[in-house]
Structure 1
């Protein structure tokens, strides 16, 4: 008697494809917003870095810098950070003792 080699049946292939589809439906929603969340966290970290360096400059010089490029010139920063979402520039507003760093994509953060 000759042995007959047999491949997968259509039903077995459909079951495997169904299981893979269910696993993808479970996993995709978790990954969908991951890029946006990581960009927002990196933006917040950049804002905290700016707060720290602005405050350090104020403690050293007695006043806040006129612009962020001055922080680079005075070696408080290697370069001015930008928003990771679309490379947008941050806006810094100083009102007395309150400093506001605003991102056009993720909003503002305040430190007093």
Structure 2
């Protein structure tokens, strides 16, 4: 009799194939809802990072012009004169940030 009760208890603890399928279906549906939002958040963060980089480089250009006169400036000039680090130069190049002939900093537009 005790063996019979033990088998019944053991069976009631196990998940059925239907329960496992339902759980996997729910997880799949949640992932379908979450993944597009994560990619939108990543795109928004990248855009904000680019805007911040443009503002930072523009500030450094203005500082450079204040201290060195009003000639045309390049990102290489800013790095050479220690207004930007080489890491910041890489980030600016990756973000496609450029300084035009009027010393205005621009980034990619979407």
TM-score, normalised by the number of residues in structure 1: 0.71
Equivalences, count: 101
Structure 1 residue 77 corresponds to structure 2 residue 77: no
Look at both structures and tell me which one has the larger radius of gyration over its CA atoms: 2
Aligned match of 2:60 in 53, 56, 59? 53
SS at match of 2:100: strand
Is 1:57–1:64's contact at 8 Å kept on the other side of the alignment?
Answer: no
Is 1:94–1:100's contact at 8 Å kept on the other side of the alignment?
Answer: yes
Considering only aligned residues, what root-mean-square deviation do their CA atoms show, in Å?
2.4
- Output one character per residue of 1:71-103: Cα deviation in whole Å (capped at 9) or x when no partner: 12222112225348xx254221133xxx43233
Higher helix share: 2
Higher strand share: 1
Runs of 4+ deviating beyond 4 Å? none
- Kindly indicate whether structure 1 or structure 2 has the higher relative contact order, using CA contacts under 8 Å at least 6 residues apart: 2
